[in-house]
Structure 1
Amino acid sequence: MEPKSGKLNRKMETAIVALLNQPTITLAAEDAGISETTLWRWLQRGDFAKAYREARKQAVNQAIAHIQRISGEAVDTLREVMNDGKKETARVTAARAILELTLKAYEIEDLEERLEALEERMRNNEHH
């Protein structure tokens, strides 16, 4: 009934949206108006699984972009707390949070660069 590869049908696209919005396969299937068995079967298909992974990746990228947009406010708030001479414990906690977040951001950036380099080497090896 549905194609085995290529473009997904409307029901499959609806199922992907449901998977992104619901916490369980059961609820996602119900939300999409299909059986749980059908949804599990679709998840085994390469084209559906790839489209779902891509949709999840886009959702995560959107969430990260949102966090990046508001991170300046968070840093400003931490800076205010850190510079408030009245609350020493809060100052230390805020300073530690800023340092930890800075370190994590650096580590993530470093890991992304290393992963990209590895992926590039793998692609080059596949072509040779």
Structure 2
Amino acid sequence: MLFFSVGGIKLAARTEDVGGISPWVPSIPVPSRTPFVQAMLKRDNLVMPVYDLATRLNCQPLGEPLLCLTARHLDGPMAICIDAEVPTLETVDAAAIRQTGRGDIETLGSITIGGNDVAIVALQRLGQIRQDVARH
């Protein structure tokens, strides 16, 4: 698992769902009807949507310099601005993962780390809850 934070909120993601971590670069605002996607980010020859996870969690990324987590989303690479605190990799026993249902973000469950519950973000499916609600 990759452990990272957004606005001081500790989160986790499966390593296979992460394409990389790099310095954050300014994004380009674009009109969009997709909830929490209002910008694009260009890195080398790749242009990808920016998913505003901080706004979705009602917080602001912390620290300098901010970092970019590239998510391997089902629709293609997606940039997420995360806190400056360097993410860490940890091995997690699959039996320690609990199924939880958070209504504010897509998750694969949660795990207890250092006495705190940490949501495992479903990076491949980010935005689907909000898009499904918007369609109905």
TM norm structure 2: 0.23
Structure having the larger proportion of residues in helix: 1
Larger Rg: 1
Greater relative CO (CA pairs within 8 A, separation 6+) = 2
TM norm structure 1: 0.24
